[in-house]
Structures are given as C-alpha cells and as structure tokens.
Structure 1
C-alpha cells in the first residue's frame, strides 16, 4: 500500500522515534491535523489517528464504516522481511480483535465469561507469589534492572499459570514475544513463529487433559470455539497480557521513583500507585500505536480520504496528550482518555490488568521502599518499535535486604513452588466442571 503523501509520513521506528515520540506526534499534528500519514516499518504505511476526538470516532465506529478485517490490507503488503514482521501484530486472525458484528460478540462473551471465573483475591495471591519469587532474586544485591528482572517477568509468569503452563516455560516465551513486538524484519518473523508454536503446544496438552485454567475454560465454553479459534484467542490474550502489562509496570515504577509526589507515597505521600498507573495509561500508554482498523467504503475522515484496504492505527499516546486549553495541573480527564481503548473493542480485561500491575508494584515498594534510579529518567533508553512505549532497562539501587533479617521480607512467607499444583483460580466447584461456570446457570 502506498499513500499518496508518503514523502511526508512520520517514521514510527528507529532511535529518533524511540527517544522522543511526542516530538514526532507534534510535528505530524502540526502538518496534517487529526489524521496523519505514518510509516510503521520501511515500505509499510498507515494512517495514524492522533487527535482525541478522531480516536473516539474510530473506536466507537461513529460513522458506521470501520471494520476490523485485515485481509485486504494484508494482501497488498510488499514481499519484504519488514512487511512480514508486521503480520505478527496486524495480520488477520480468527479472534475478537479482527472480528465484527455477531462474530465479535460471540468471541467477546467467551473472553468475558472465562476471565470472570478468576477470583480477584486468588489473582492477587498469585501476583504476590510471583512478585516475591522475583524480588528474592535481587533483593540482597542492592541493585536491579526492574525492566528485565521484574516488570517483563511478572505478566508472563502470571499468565503462564493462568493458562496452565509452569514458570519453567517462560524464558522461551519472553524471547518469542519480545522479537514479535519489536517487529524487526527476520527477528519479528522468527518471534511470530516461535510464539505460535508455544501456544500450539499448550493447546495440544490441554485438549489431552483439562485443568483449572483459562485454556481449558476456552476449550469447554459452550460457544464451541474451534481449535483454531482457541489457538488464536490464546495468542491474542497472552500477547496483550505481556508487552502492555510489562511496560505499564516499568513505566509506572520509573515515574514513581523519579517524582516526589509518588516517591513520598511509598511512605506518606499524597499520590498512590493507582494514581501513577492511571497517569501512565493517559500520558505514556504501553501500546502507544495500535488498534488496527479499516474502512468498508471510501471515507473522508477528519479531512483525510481513506480507501478500503488501507491500514488505520489509533495513536493512544498522541490522542491522550493532544494539547488543549486546560493546563495539565487543572485537567480532570478522569477515565476520558483512551489508554485501554473505547467502544465495542475496549480491552475486556482492564480490571485484571490494573490489579496485576498495582499488586506487583505495591509488593515491590513494600519490600524495597527506598528505590531510586541510577540515572535521570530522561536518560533512560526506550526500546524501538512502532507499537509500544517500553523501557529497554530500568536500573535502580536500594538498601539491600537479606533472608535472615527481622520483619516482613520476600522470604518471610511460604510460597508454593511453580512446579507443584497451585490453588484453583476459579470459583469453588464440584466434580462437574461446568457447574461453577457462568454459562451453566
């Protein structure tokens, strides 16, 4: 696909964009307004929605022309490694992200029902267990890279257990998802292949022997998902639960330890972890540019003509931070920003996501209450990629704690081994699995 104004397209890849994406958004906004041409990889273009109202109009399908089926766009991609790498994130799959109408409603109900079976207090206990096991690895050293040692480990270990796989499998999954998310030519394609293989092995094991886990619930849901539909939804859930969650955790920690309003809150400050999380969702969302959309017919949208088969991405980061006449300190956006999307395709697992992130961060800061960055926040390095806003490293120092010191510590509670069966994560149930499910009533 070639946009007629490609020479003016803003590049959403490379070190310049990773270093200061807001400067790129500002330049695009000044030249093009609410919808701007963008290049998301060499030779791969998209319309980028950078205005807040325009983003709402797409996400809520205000004009009735927006669809999610990516196949027409995918057929027009150039035959290059860079384009192939985009397929992992944007290529059509039989899941809720790329479905419309009744099919979308069917898929979304499965997700809502299955996530609804997870008890919040069980999920919190699971996150505490995972968090403490990670903190024990570095707490006695006095320093850590909280991006790699903590934030990027939390969602994979939590979702591994929710889906029915042990912690031992998480290293391979981290590598596959990181390669896929960065969408860098052959590396992105390799990550996509490894990720699909990982999920395929999981599903094969669960079809052979069910468990008390999300995978089994998806298989047994009365909507009757096919094996391919189960596969594609688990790919989506784990992908959406990894990179955005990891970045939400690390971005929030980096703000808290570099801003006295939050740093003091580790003991007695005015702003909480929840405040910091919401500020990151607004001003620095983990998925900065995503929400792929297409039009069903030629459409003029906020001054830009869009044709069927042309990719449209929503820039949550640009839309949320669009300049307005109200000073930042007086804004009262509340939940009006679009960090979790909006409309029918809004993230269906917002509450579990915030619970996981908040629990992990509070567990970390309760054990290590004097965290500080080893470099100024403005000097932190960000990972390249068109979709995410993700720290490459989050180096911190703190007062070391030891297993034998008095008081509560990551070692003071008994934690079940990841190789032994954990407590059920769903509502208590009888021998008949379906009796406790929401679709059994």
Structure 2
C-alpha cells in the first residue's frame, strides 16, 4: 500500500495508488469497521479508496482536519451528484440515498441556499417541549406492549416505531400515510426496489402536502406549504424526504447505539459503585465515537482536485467517514474526546445538520433511552455483546437487533396528549 510518504517524483499520487479499494457494503466491514479504518490510516493516510457497491468507486475521508476542510469548501466539493449518477443504472440501489433531489442535501450554490432557507423555515415550528411530551407518551405506550413479557427486541418493538411515530406527529403526517412512509423509507436506506420506493415515497408525501394545503396546523408540513411560497410541490416533497431521511435512520441508530453502550459499559450500569453518567452524556459520547451515520456527507468534485497530495478524480463520490474522523488519533489523544461539541456526527459547513434538527434528534434519543431505563433499570442484553448482529451497508453504523431481558414490570401510566400542541 502506497502512502503519502512514498509518492511519485511529482510529490503526488492518485487515490487509486493508495491501495486496493475497501468494500463498505460487506458483512466483514459491518462487523469491524474501526479495524478497517485503522488499516486505511497506515502510513498516515487521510484518504482511502473504497467501494460503495460492487463496481462503484469512491474516496473515503478518514482524517478529521481534512474532513473539516472539505466540508467547508463547497466550491471544490459540491454536493450535486447529477453528473456522477449518469454512470449508474436508473434502478441502482444507491440512487434513493445518493441520487440528485431538489433539496438541501443534494444541491449546490444558490439552489442549495434556497432549499436550506426553506428547511430552516419549516423546522422553526418545532416545539421541543412538545417533542419531549410526544416521546414520553409514545415510549410509554410501546413499553406497555412488552413490559410483562420479560424480554424484547428493541429495534423492532421500541426504537423504530417510536422514532417514526414521534417524527410523523411532528411533521403532521396522519398514521396511515406514516405507515406507508415507514416501509418505503426503510427500503430506501437498504437500497431495495429503487423505482418503486421512490414512487411510494413521492405519492405519500404529495398526499400529505395536499392535506396540509386544505387543513394546515402547527407542524412542519404545513409550514412548508404555507410559509415557503417560492417552493413547488415537487420541491416541498423533496424537502420532506430530507426531513424523514435525517429524522429516522440517524435517530434510530443513535438510540440503538447508545442503549448498546449503556448495556455493555460498566460505568453505565445501575449497580456501579461509582457515579453513573446521565443518559445525555451517553448520547454525546455515542455521537462522538460511534456516530449513527458512519460514512456520508457526500460531495462530487467537478474536476480533478488535489487533497493532502492525493489526486481525486472528477465526478466520483467523496464521502466523509464521521466514524473514522471522530476517532482520528490526531485529535482524540490517549483519553478520547475532551470536547464532544467538535465531533462531526452532524457534519460541518454549509451542509451541516440544522440546529433545530440536532436538538430534536437529541431530545428524542435522550427521552426514549431515559424512559426505557426508568422502566427497566435491571435490563440486560439477552445475548453477549459479541453476538449482536450489525447491519450491513456503506452509510450507517448500528446493530441489526438489540435483544434484552428484564424482570417483568407492570404497565406504565401513559400521559395524555396535550390538546394545545
């Protein structure tokens, strides 16, 4: 494997020369991604050649400081994938996640700025106190469905339905439409049946837009319809795709990763004789060293670009590995993070996650996890930590299942939904 210390006479090399491409979609990578990042760093590399799917090359940014520079350089690293995606078939499984859309994630320049403003406007309606109340109410209802069984698989029976329900209510989506979206967006992240998934998502969201045009309320979808008059319905639909994509998968993974951390780390156990850190600390630690979206923040250079003495080709994806960058030895030192606010779990630069979206994701995670451990302080993993399965895929980092066991518990009292929110 070539490193930047053993370059050609010109002092530079191509990304191809840094070694064989690491496939990010295999079960082997899902099981041990951090070991793979360490191998990629050999020789001081900050960039690594990878494959997102068979035959789909990309560059993975694994150095923290390099990632910050790239994320704050949208002129050389625009987020518009239009040219690149022409190299893929129309039904390629990567397109639902990475394909062009008229929204804040997949556009550049003035177009991006307009979509970003609309997204900020739509999110401004969010009431974090209402989000907290919804999360507690939904968590209580779900817990009551398995509390007397003494066991549960949390992703299926608790985490996924909680995140979908809370987000649907915050967006203003009726339960029936929300269930259709749940199935379709889950398939989107797994790269399943591309054209059907896109059509199903679009149809559900257009119905929601029309509903809010007739009967607006204090919710995200209504704000998109009535306070963003410059948007077309196509653009509104794609803004909602952004909100659902960012509001479901990352939050679900954050909750799963944090619960796993609290069930396996001695310092979080209820019988620990020392101070037990609060849930908020566990969430922040997870964001810093086991972020829920491991590799994303895509950009697509329009011409060959030189980064850390490595030439990256035009119109080929450059992904930031939040997982690798957040654990870069160049910044964390021997004792890990000392300032969790500097992590890249929410990105950086003009495409970073909006402040309200960050607050909402943390609010849902903290309340859901806290409510679970309040109900089941003696919960344990039902399998050893080494036996927990991991989801495959190049983008996320999360267990495929979180089976737990606990002493049977009486049902909780469910707080009523407040009528004024």
Q: TM-score, normalised by structure 1?
A: 0.86
Q: Are 1:103 and 2:108 matched, yes or no?
A: no
Q: Where does residue 4 of structure 2 map in the other structure?
A: none
Q: How far did 1:317 drift? A: 0.6
* d(CA) in 1 for partners of 2:272, 2:364: 18
Q: CA 1:334 to 1:265, structure 2 compared with 1: closer, same or farther past 3 Å?
A: farther
Q: Are 1:306 and 2:312 matched, yes or no?
A: yes
* d(CA) in 2 for partners of 1:285, 1:265: 27
Q: How far did 1:257 drift? A: 1.4
Q: How far did 1:327 drift? A: 4.5
* d(CA) in 1 for partners of 2:209, 2:308: 44
* d(CA) in 1 for partners of 2:113, 2:90: 35
Are the aligned partners of 1:156 and 1:173 in contact in 2 as well (CA < 8 Å)? no
Q: Where does residue 175 of structure 2 map in the other structure?
A: 167
Q: CA 1:424 to 1:310, structure 2 compared with 1: closer, same or farther past 3 Å?
A: farther
Q: How far did 1:99 drift? A: 2.5
Q: Are 1:296 and 2:296 matched, yes or no?
A: no
Q: Where does residue 149 of structure 2 map in the other structure?
A: 141
User: In structure 2, the residue corresponding to 1:382 is in which secondary structure?
Assistant: coil
Q: Where does residue 9 of structure 2 map in the other structure?
A: none
Q: How far did 1:31 drift? A: 6.3
Q: How far did 1:54 drift? A: 1.0
Q: Are 1:378 and 2:386 matched, yes or no?
A: yes
Are the aligned partners of 2:105 and 2:351 in contact in 1 as well (CA < 8 Å)? yes
Q: Which moved more, 1:295-304 or 1:135-144?
A: 295-304
Q: CA 1:325 to 1:354, structure 2 compared with 1: closer, same or farther past 3 Å?
A: closer
* d(CA) in 2 for partners of 1:267, 1:124: 30
What do the CA deviations read for 1:11-65 (whole angstroms, capped 9, x no partner)?
0012101111112222222268111111011111111111111111111118x41
Q: Are 1:118 and 2:126 matched, yes or no?
A: yes
Quick one: which of 126, 139, 143 aligns to 1:131? 139
What do the CA deviations read for 1:146-181 (whole angstroms, capped 9, x no partner)?
111111112210111122223344443332222211
Q: Are 1:338 and 2:338 matched, yes or no?
A: no
Are the aligned partners of 2:34 and 2:324 in contact in 1 as well (CA < 8 Å)? yes
Q: CA 1:28 to 1:367, structure 2 compared with 1: closer, same or farther past 3 Å?
A: same
Q: Are 1:71 and 2:82 matched, yes or no?
A: yes
Q: How far did 1:389 drift? A: 0.8
Are the aligned partners of 2:267 and 2:274 in contact in 1 as well (CA < 8 Å)? no
1:29-428 superposed matches below 5 A: 29-30=41-42, 33-61=45-73, 64-77=75-88, 79=89, 84-183=92-191, 186-222=192-228, 224-264=230-270, 269-324=275-330, 327-329=333-335, 331-348=337-354, 349-403=357-411, 410=412, 412-416=413-417, 423-425=419-421
Q: CA 1:135 to 1:288, structure 2 compared with 1: closer, same or farther past 3 Å?
A: same
Q: CA 1:390 to 1:193, structure 2 compared with 1: closer, same or farther past 3 Å?
A: farther
Are the aligned partners of 1:178 and 1:191 in contact in 2 as well (CA < 8 Å)? no
User: In structure 2, the residue corresponding to 1:66 is in which secondary structure?
Assistant: coil
Q: CA 1:128 to 1:20, structure 2 compared with 1: closer, same or farther past 3 Å?
A: same
Are the aligned partners of 1:212 and 1:424 in contact in 2 as well (CA < 8 Å)? no
* d(CA) in 2 for partners of 1:45, 1:329: 35
Q: CA 1:25 to 1:229, structure 2 compared with 1: closer, same or farther past 3 Å?
A: same
Q: Which moved more, 1:66-75 or 1:200-209?
A: 200-209
Runs of at least 5 residues in structure 2 that lack an aligned partner in the other structure: 1-13
User: In structure 1, the residue corresponding to 2:57 is in which secondary structure?
Assistant: strand
Q: CA 1:95 to 1:179, structure 2 compared with 1: closer, same or farther past 3 Å?
A: same
Q: CA 1:279 to 1:258, structure 2 compared with 1: closer, same or farther past 3 Å?
A: same
Are the aligned partners of 1:262 and 1:271 in contact in 2 as well (CA < 8 Å)? yes
Q: TM-score, normalised by structure 2?
A: 0.90
Q: How far did 1:300 drift? A: 0.5
Q: CA 1:174 to 1:269, structure 2 compared with 1: closer, same or farther past 3 Å?
A: farther
Q: How far did 1:262 drift? A: 1.5
* d(CA) in 2 for partners of 1:323, 1:3: 22
Are the aligned partners of 2:390 and 2:399 in contact in 1 as well (CA < 8 Å)? yes
* d(CA) in 2 for partners of 1:325, 1:53: 9
